[in-house]
Amino acid sequence: MNRAILIAGGATLTAAGLALATNKRARDGASDAVAAVSKAIGTTRGFRNNNPGNIREGQGDRTAWEGERSTDDDGAFEEFVTPEYGFRALVRLLDNYRTRYGLHTVAGIIGRYAPASENNTARYIEFVADHLRVRADQAIDTQSTDTMLALVDAITRFENGGNPYSARVMRSGLDMARSGIIVA
């Protein structure tokens, strides 16, 4: 199946089109398409709020996240001073799903993270499971750094239409969540 990414102006970019970016003859046109995708991702709410997982503010917003912005410009979603703190919060939340609620499958984790009252949860579960290359009901080890980074990447891609963040930024957030140390 040839899946396409919707970009600004209603244009689409297929995986094959993106692959053409490495072909010297097609590089200029494909680079423009890649730039349009990056620009579209950069305007998402999650990107603006340094909240790649689009974590909602809790009722009464009693959670004081480390790295949370002092201003509250978005009343519905958390806002962080850097994307690393946004990834930190996402990892902490997902770690809590494992330790507090015993959730060890993509279906269980995403079912709680993105309830059907607000999301197309079935599509979200399918997307994340495909990204992790597991069945939705298969147990995953979120204590594993590689698995958690893949899960966080998938959530970021689903929430924002892509992931403009480097592996270093995601890893820094994970390390902050689990040890309090920022990796340079």
User: pLDDT band at 179, cuts 50/70/90?
Assistant: confident
pLDDT at 79 over 60: yes
pTM: 0.76
Q: pLDDT tens for residues 20-69?
A: 334 444 444 544 544 554 555 558 999 999 999 999 987 766 678 999 99
Q: In 10 A of CB 110, how many CB atoms?
A: 27
In the prediction, which pLDDT does 61 show?
63
- Distances in Å between the Cα of 135 and the Cα atoms of 34, 96, 127 are 30, 22, 11
Longest Cα separation, the chain: 55
In the prediction, which pLDDT does 60 show?
66
| Gyration radius (Cα) of the chain, Å | 17
Domain definitions of the chain by residue range: 4-43, 46-179
Mean pLDDT (the chain, rounded): 82
Q: pLDDT tens for residues 124-133?
A: 999 999 999 9
Q: In 10 A of CB 179, how many CB atoms?
A: 9
Q: Which of 33-37, 77-81, 172-176 has the lowest mean pLDDT?
A: 33-37
Q: For the chain, give the number of residues.
A: 184
Phi, psi of 170, rounded to the nearest 5 degrees: -65, -45
The residue ranking higher by pLDDT, 147 or 4, is 147
